[in-house]
Structures are given as C-alpha cells and as structure tokens.
C-alpha cells in the first residue's frame, strides 16, 4: 500500500501521538461555534501554519464541522508551496501517515473523479511528498473524525481553480449523493515583513494595520462573498493568500451545492498570537465556513 510519510511532524505540529492529541484539544473552543439553529457545512477555508500560530483558527473550523456531525470524506484542496505543480494533483491510493496513525485515502471516490474529469486532474504522489498545506490538517481529522477518508488534491492558482471546485461538487453530488463530503481549502493570508520580502506599507504598527484592515480584508471579503472567480487574480495582485487556488476551489465547491455566502469564524495574525515588541514579519490566518 502506498503510504505518504509525514514531512513536517515535529516541526509544524508535534511529533508524538500524545502531544498531537493534547495540542489539538487545546486548539478547540470550549463552547459552540455556530450557535443555535440548523447548520450544514459544505466547505471551509482553513490555515496551514504551525499549530502554535494558526491551530486555534483551524480549531474553530474543525469544531464547527464537528457540531454539524462531521463528514464521511474530506476533500482537501491544498496550497502549492513546492516547485513543478502546474495541474491539480491527486494522491490517489493508500493512506497518509501522521503520529496519530494512518488516514485512509478514498480510492473509490477518487476513481470516480478521474473517470469524470479525465486529464483535467493528474495522479501525482510526488507532488505531495514535501507539501505541508494538507498534512497539517490530517491529524485534526484523525482526532475528531477517525472514520473519515481523504481526497488530497493540490490546486495551483489558475483561472480553472474555481471550476475544479464546481466540477468536483457536481460529480460527487450526482454520483455519491448519500456521502457527506466536506471540502477544505488550505491557505494562509498575507506573508508580511522582511522575512518574506514584502513590505509595501512600512514596518511596525503601520504594516500590521494595513495587512489587517486592507490587504487581508480584501481577500477575506472575496472569500466570504464567494466571488470565486476573483480570488486567484486578487492574490496574484496583492500577495494576500498563499493558497488562492485552494480557496477558489472551496468556494466553487460550496457555490455549486447552493451556498451563497461564507461565514468568518476567526481572523488573526501570527503577531496577535505571539506578539513581539513591534510587528516585523507576520502572517494572517482566517477560518471560514460555507453552509447550505
């Protein structure tokens, strides 16, 4: 069986089962995330930094999914930080291993997607080997939804990113209507400061204010409004998302299934989580859910 080995365990998140479970539990909110009423989550946007920075924001999303009863399958739309991934790239067989064990890949549903989409997606396990954007989500899924299976797809930012989400939603709804499949788009927001070579609004508080009130806000507003066709272009212009293809695909997936608006559960930055004397280099994080 093909098994993807963990690449960032012990770095982005703990390297032992006990430590993983403890930190996940501490990242989850104590009360309700969604509040009263009926809720059905179709997809979400979740960050993928080290858990000490973005884990609580991710925890809001996973707690909301737990409130609605979880999912049978998680369709994981990943950001692309590695070289050479030019097409939507799937890990099609076997399992993903983390300190919590092995999470099974949904080979049957993936084969349906290949049958329907043909060469619009590629089977490329090599693309996933060193990419962290999906790996950091898997222990959360294992901890909270141990029976769920995975469909890992890396989504490069192109004009077809939103289309991919729409098409996968259409196929899954028509071919597997009884399965609860939630899509997760994995992305952080603006990477600001000298560490990232991006300082258009100056240093210190002025830069932090610009990121929070302008640059990240533009991307969040597009994602909440589900303007899936504008997300990739906005990120390429403003450098305010590292996984815009994944965000656009998650929005497209939910739009195809009837959602009309997203819900921002939490927004923060790495500076807010671990403040220094003054903001220098930091990253923005948002957790957004899309409901039917």
Average pLDDT, the chain: 97
Buried-exposed string 39-68: b where 16+ CB fall within 10 A, e elsewhere: bebbbbbbbbbbbebbbbbbbbbbbbbbeb
In the predicted structure, residue 272 carries a pLDDT above the cut 90: yes
Q: What is the mean pLDDT of residues 250-269?
A: 97
In the predicted structure, residue 277 carries a pLDDT above the cut 90: no
In the predicted structure, residue 38 carries a pLDDT above the cut 90: no
Phi, psi of 43 (to 5 degrees): -155, 175
In the predicted structure, residue 276 carries a pLDDT above the cut 90: no
pLDDT tens by residue, 130-160: 999 999 999 999 999 999 999 999 999 999 9
pLDDT bucket at 112, cuts 50 / 70 / 90? very high
Give the whole-angstrom CA distance, residue 270 versus residue 272: 5
For the chain, the domains span 3-291
Buried-exposed string 271-290: b where 16+ CB fall within 10 A, e elsewhere: bebeeeeebbbbbbbbbbbb
pLDDT value for 160: 97
pLDDT value for 13: 98
CATH number given to 3-291: 3.40.830.10
Who has greater pLDDT, 278 or 250?
A: 250
Q: What is the mean pLDDT of residues 161-168?
A: 98
């Amino acid at each position: 069986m093909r098994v993807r080995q963990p690449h960032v365990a012990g770095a982005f998140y703990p390297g032992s089962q006990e430590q993983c479970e403890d930190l996940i539990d501490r990242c989850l909110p104590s009360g309700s995330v969604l509040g009263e009423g009926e809720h059905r989550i179709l997809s979400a946007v979740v960050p993928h930094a080290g858990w000490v920075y973005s884990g609580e924001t991710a925890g809001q999303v996973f707690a909301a999914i737990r409130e609605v009863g979880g999912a049978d399958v998680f369709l994981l739309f990943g950001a692309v930080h590695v070289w050479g991934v030019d097409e939507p790239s799937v890990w099609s067989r076997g399992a993903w291993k983390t300190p919590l064990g092995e999470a099974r890949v949904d080979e049957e549903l993936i084969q349906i997607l290949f049958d329907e989409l043909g060469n619009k997606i590629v089977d490329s396990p090599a693309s996933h080997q060193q990419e962290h954007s999906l790996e950091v989500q898997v222990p959360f899924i294992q901890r909270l939804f141990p029976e769920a299976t995975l469909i890992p797809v890396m989504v490069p930012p192109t004009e077809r990113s939103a289309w991919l989400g729409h098409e996968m939603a259409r196929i899954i709804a028509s071919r597997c209507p009884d399965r609860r499949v939630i899509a997760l788009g994995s992305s952080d927001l603006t990477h600001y400061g000298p560490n990232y070579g991006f300082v258009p609004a100056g240093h210190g508080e002025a830069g932090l204010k610009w990121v929070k009130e302008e640059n990240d806000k533009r991307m969040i507003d597009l994602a909440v409004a589900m303007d899936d066709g504008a997300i990739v272009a906005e990120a390429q212009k403003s450098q305010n998302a590292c996984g815009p293809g994944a965000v656009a695909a998650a929005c497209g997936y939910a739009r195809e299934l009837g959602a009309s608006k997203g819900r921002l559960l939490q927004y923060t930055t790495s500076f807010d989580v671990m403040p220094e004397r003054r903001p220098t280099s930091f990253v923005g994080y948002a957790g957004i859910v899309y409901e039917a």
